[in-house]
Chain A
Amino acid sequence: MTETIRLLQVPLNYFRKEPIYLIIVLFFILELIFPFIISNYWILRIILFANLFVIYATSFDLLAGYGGIISFGHSLFFGGAGYLAGLLSLNFGLPLIVCIITGCLFALIVGLFLGYICLRLKGPYLAVVTLICPLVVLTLLYISPTILGGENGIAGFAQLAGGSLVKQFYIVLIVTTISLLIISVLAKGNFGLILKAIREDEIGAEAAGINTTKYKLMAFIVSGFFSGISGTLYAHIMGSIGPTMMSLQYGMIPVFMVYLGGASSIIGPFIGAYVVTFLDLYLLAFPYLRIIIYAATIIFVLRFFPNGLIAVPNEIGRLKRWLS
């Protein structure tokens, strides 16, 4: 119990040292006025989804960026929570808030399960296992058309805020802001430091008195829970859910967002989520070139800015020297 209290302690100097909290508050205030100044329905909808992916990406950053546990199976949390929330809503007509909370708790349990499996795995072994797990579930989805809707997924369940875009936008904005604050407090506090220590050297971390098993599991649980939040909200905004949400594509989305924006920083995945969401949706107009432009952008950024877009200001000088 004392250990848990220590983890949640956030000395005041963090708020002075870490501009992230100020950025989150400014983000919230700025986006509050978006529905009044943005008249384009699609732009507002893209921002809404970008905010959802901010939660998804930052939750992944906690696990991969801070903890060094690079999982390709994050779609398990995102899709799993979305599926459960949708099924509860469709089959039992439960209130939306109950469906969302249950979905998130389910993602938390899936996080515990996946974390337990991955405890002793590292590098390529960890990657393979986290890649296989969602594929197994994906196969189960395809062969269960009566319960899970098969390849068509499930549709027709309750939409968030009755489908009102503006209301959905504000709900997602509030949830994103609260999630970002909680994840930032965890990442910038003792919990984040412990995860970074484990990432740097697990044996060294044990020698420093850190229970590495416990904190790796906690990273999976917390990351799973917040991914579950984004997954359930995504499902209830769409009013439908399909196997794609459990696919490799959705497992790779947070990986791209985090490493494009800059890992282990919170603000990096935030930037990455916006860039990838806008890029992805704008490129829908170029169906053949889409994937090429998408891939080229990511390769370019990672080639010249290996620490992500967040490090661009620091690396401009290095790039100039390289070009000359």
Chain B
Amino acid sequence: MAILKVEGLVKKFGGLIAVNDLSFSVDRGKVLGIVGPNGSGKTTSFNLISGFIKPDSGKISLNGDDITKLRPYVIVRKGMARTFQIVRVFRHLSVYENVKAAKIFNVDRGEDIDEKIAEVIHLVGLKGKENEKAINLPIGDLKRLDIGRALAAKPSVLLLDEPFSGLSHQEVTEIIPLLLDLTTKGMAVVIVEHVLRELKRLAENIIVLNFGVKIAEGQFENVINQRAVREAYIGAVNNV
């Protein structure tokens, strides 16, 4: 059964249809990639799914519950967390405080919050930097912290908005096993990403958006070779 199901999502900004009749679903433990050229509606789709923008029509279900009209913080508490293309960490707070802010409302009775925070910090590879202010971290660590803060909310679905942008090949190589490890624990991951070479290593299935419309869906290799996808995304395809 799909853990996240999006049906007929539509969002218009004035005369512009940013997302048009978008439908897809993700199963537990799977990674779905969302690709498309700039302005194709990828980030808008994420904002709709995570509750930061309300859709004009369509339905979003998480674990069978309708979350279409819920506020972002409610969606997070229901089990879907996200990161941002431009990281939105709390810059003047420490790594520990950043993770704690997301962990406060996600600790089960009897659990030690400090232990859980330490686990998350260790998981994203920021151990030893607990007291470092976020503003002093390099971009790679900021991305890790953004992911860590999302993971602190104990999500069953993780939405990652261009997690590899601005990262070196080395940093990307370090993050990929972390994400794959999360899927083995049953977490579903949806990734918006421009770097197709890296996405190929993560996502079995992808969907391709162009001008807000889903133009292709399926296994990475099959989709990326479709004519419509090549036409829409020719520059990036050359990099695969």
Chain A positions within 8 Å of B, measured between CB atoms, are 3, 6, 190, 193-194, 196-197, 200-201, 203-212
Are B76's CB and A203's CB within 8 A? no
In chain B, what residue has the closest Cβ to A194?
Answer: B101
Given contacts A203-B84, A209-B81, 8 further A-B contacts (CB under 8 A): A193-B104, A201-B89, A205-B101, A206-B73, A208-B153, A209-B73, A210-B73, A211-B71
* A207 CB contacts on chain B under 8 angstroms: 50, 72, 76, 81-82, 84, 88, 149-150
* B21 CB contacts on chain A under 8 angstroms: none
Query: Pick the contact of B93 from A196, A206, A210 — CB < 8 Å?
Result: A196
* A210 CB contacts on chain B under 8 angstroms: 73, 101, 105
In chain B, what residue has the closest Cβ to A13?
Answer: B114
Given A207-B82, A207-B84, A209-B102: A193 and B52 within 8 A (CB)?
A: no
Given A203-B52, A206-B72, A207-B76: A197 and B153 within 8 A (CB)?
A: no
Residue B144 CB within 8 A of the other chain: no
Q: How many whole Å from A105's CB to the nearest CB in chain B?
A: 28
Are B84's CB and A193's CB within 8 A? no
Residue B106 CB within 8 A of the other chain: yes
Are A200's CB and B104's CB within 8 A? no
* A200 CB contacts on chain B under 8 angstroms: 90-93
Q: How many whole Å from A106's CB to the nearest CB in chain B?
A: 30
Could you write out 19 A-B pairs with CB less than 8 Å apart? A6-B104, A193-B97, A193-B101, A197-B101, A200-B93, A201-B89, A203-B88, A204-B89, A205-B101, A206-B76, A207-B149, A208-B76, A208-B102, A209-B76, A209-B102, A209-B105, A210-B101, A211-B71, A212-B73
Chain B residues touching A, range:
20 to 34
* B89 CB contacts on chain A under 8 angstroms: 201, 204
- Alpha-carbon separation in the docked complex, A184 to B183 (Å): 42
Given A207-B82, A209-B77: A197 and B93 within 8 A (CB)?
A: yes
* A206 CB contacts on chain B under 8 angstroms: 52, 71-73, 76
Q: How many whole Å from B142's CB to the nearest CB in chain A?
A: 12
Residue B100 CB within 8 A of the other chain: yes
- With most chain B CB atoms within 10 A of its CB, the pick from A204, A206, A207, A210 is A207
* B73 CB contacts on chain A under 8 angstroms: 206, 208-212
Docked complex: B38-61 residues within 8 A CB-CB of A: 50, 52
- Alpha-carbon separation in the docked complex, A72 to B35 (Å): 47
- With most chain B CB atoms within 10 A of its CB, the pick from A194, A204, A209, A212 is A209
* A201 CB contacts on chain B under 8 angstroms: 88-91
* A196 CB contacts on chain B under 8 angstroms: 90, 92-93, 97, 101
* B52 CB contacts on chain A under 8 angstroms: 203, 206
In chain B, what residue has the closest Cβ to A214?
Answer: B73
- Alpha-carbon separation in the docked complex, A204 to B87 (Å): 9
In chain A, what residue has the closest Cβ to B101?
Answer: A197
* A197 CB contacts on chain B under 8 angstroms: 90, 93, 97, 101
Q: How many whole Å from A307's CB to the nearest CB in chain B?
A: 12
- Alpha-carbon separation in the docked complex, A205 to B93 (Å): 12
- Alpha-carbon separation in the docked complex, A204 to B101 (Å): 10
- With most chain A CB atoms within 10 A of its CB, the pick from B105, B106, B152, B153 is B105
Query: Pick the contact of A209 from B84, B90, B92, B153 — CB < 8 Å?
Result: B153
* A193 CB contacts on chain B under 8 angstroms: 93, 97, 100-101, 104
Q: How many whole Å from A281's CB to the nearest CB in chain B?
A: 35
